[in-house]
Structure 1
Amino acid sequence: MRALIHDFETSGGRARDCGVVQLAVLGGELESDGVFDQQWQSSECYHPGGPIDPATTRVHGFHDRDVAHCPDYRHAIPQVYREAARQGFDALVIGYSNTGFDNVIARRLGCRPGRSLDLFIPAYRLKKRDGLVSASLGNMYRELTGDEPTHAHDALFDVTMTAALVPPLMARFGFTEFSPFLDWATTGQPVPGMRLRHGPARGHTIESLDDGALIQALTGWRGGSIDVLASLEAEYARRRLSKKPIQSRLF
């Protein structure tokens, strides 16, 4: 299956309106065993259209002066995704925590993938199942490959780490073929001990919510982790509450 793997570094703020300072995209073929055969690459820095938040600089290391003479991301990045689509790499887009971040930015800039795989989802399932310390990209790379994430938060290194995680994640869950792994990884699964990352109950496990908070969380789910939604629905059904509330508009 043809696929692209992408990662953004930004100027800070929300995915819906942040500027971009770096984008790395790998295009290639995913073999049946999950090995990524890279055939195309784009990795560039961009002017974000405004100042970089100092807190964000502390994460990725980019200062305003570093990108002062780079092309404006709003004009340059759509060309990258057009080229990826021309080569057929937009059949599947892969990232790490890309559901609510990288994919949102990419959609603003013209990316229209046929399907999306967020590797954070199976990584988080593995963390909960095996009691791992963290499901961060760097920690999973260290855990599953034995190598150190020496250049984490450099977009090109991040997409390289992401590509390397597919085969070991498949193996940890007993998959020998990529296609069934893709179906499993993109279908919501209830995860015991799932904590909410957004909203009034942020940081609380779904099982610990009172009925009112559970209903509020399920009603207000607006997209994001498919496992959060599956966990909310499973807990709602377990408590045998009244008819499931209508959710807000999903996007």
Structure 2
Amino acid sequence: MFVARVRVIDLETAGSSAQDVCEVGWQDVVAEPDGRWSLSEERGALLINPGRPISPATMAVHHILDADVADAPFWRDAAPSVLQPPGGVLALAAHRASFEQNFCRPRLTGGARWICTWKCALRLWPHLPSFSNQMLRYERMPEGLIQAIGLPAHRAMPDAYVTAHHLRDMLNQASLEQLLEWSAEPGLLPRMPTGPERGRSWESLASERLIALSRDRDADIRFTAETELRRRGLVEEPAAPPLAQRTLF
């Protein structure tokens, strides 16, 4: 039976290679009959054996020990049941989803689309001073978030639970398709993030400076600078893709 849900995923890892997951957590956000979105009771976490020792540096973040995962399944075996649950998903979601996507490859997700709650927060709440998952938690104080379930931070299920509250509120402000569209683009930064202009609005920067920033190595900076140049009429709108020719049968 199909379930109208988005599954929020959070991973704790032992490194950067595709199998280095040591914990996965999830929390579902579901569409109610009245069109609103809410958190369901479907949440959980699994320890995962990364197949190699966990470094002290990563233990210091999530406090998962080698002994904790010694008898746990490998990621390639455990992932499909979490990422492709019975009833399917409308999308998967994560905060800074590009990180999770490094490990949740399409062959494990069934090709599911992704929502990045970090990118969507930039669009929906640009007035906020910071956009990390935990900062959004305390800047916004989402309704219904139970403090104890969202702790400890930097463990997979509590972090997914916190992210799901942000996602719920986003889905109640913008459509699923809009969130997916924003997530497929680089981040639209509300303020200059680095350098001597850090904290300044993009509108306050000279056009010559924006042109230079549109060639920056950072994709989010390039995209935001190009967007502001386009707003000023200094860069043409990207051409719409050609319509596919219809075939008569």
TM-score over 0.5 (shorter chain) = yes
> Which protein has the larger Cα radius of gyration, Structure 1 or Structure 2?
2
**1:39-188 aligned within 5 A:** 40-82=42-84, 84=85, 87-98=86-97, 100-107=98-105, 110-125=108-123, 128-129=126-127, 131-132=128-129, 134-142=130-138, 143-145=140-142, 148=147, 149-169=150-170, 175=173, 180-188=174-182
Contact kept? 1:9, 1:22, Cα under 8 Å: yes
User: Counterparts of 2:75 and 2:19 in 1: how far apart (Å)?
Assistant: 11
- Cα deviation, 1:103-155, whole Å, max 9, x if unaligned, reads 231116611354321111232345531x43x3121221223327645311111
What number of residue pairs does the alignment pair up?
A: 217
- Cα deviation, 1:145-168, whole Å, max 9, x if unaligned, reads 276453111111111112222344
CA 1:160–1:192: 2 relative to 1, 3 Å:
closer
Unaligned runs of 5+ in 1: 197-202, 245-251
Contact kept? 1:11, 1:56, Cα under 8 Å: yes
Contact kept? 1:28, 1:89, Cα under 8 Å: no
TM-score, length of structure 1 as denominator length: 0.69
2:66 maps to amino acid? D
Unaligned runs of 5+ in 2: 239-249
Aligned mate of 1:11, from 14, 21, 37: 14
User: Counterparts of 1:205 and 1:47 in 2: how far apart (Å)?
Assistant: 45
User: Counterparts of 1:182 and 1:243 in 2: how far apart (Å)?
Assistant: 24
1:122 maps to amino acid? C
CA 1:205–1:12: 2 relative to 1, 3 Å:
farther
Contact kept? 1:93, 1:113, Cα under 8 Å: no
More helix by share: 1
Contact kept? 2:214, 2:222, Cα under 8 Å: no
Which residue of structure 1 lines up, in the alignment, with residue 36 of structure 2? 33
Which residue of structure 2 lines up, in the alignment, with residue 240 of structure 1? 234
2:190 maps to amino acid? P
How far did 1:170 drift? 5.6
Contact kept? 1:7, 1:95, Cα under 8 Å: yes
CA 1:92–1:242: 2 relative to 1, 3 Å:
closer
2:49 maps to amino acid? H
TM-score, length of structure 2 as denominator length: 0.69
CA 1:135–1:241: 2 relative to 1, 3 Å:
closer
Where 2:104 maps in the other structure, the secondary structure is helix
Where 1:76 maps in the other structure, the secondary structure is helix
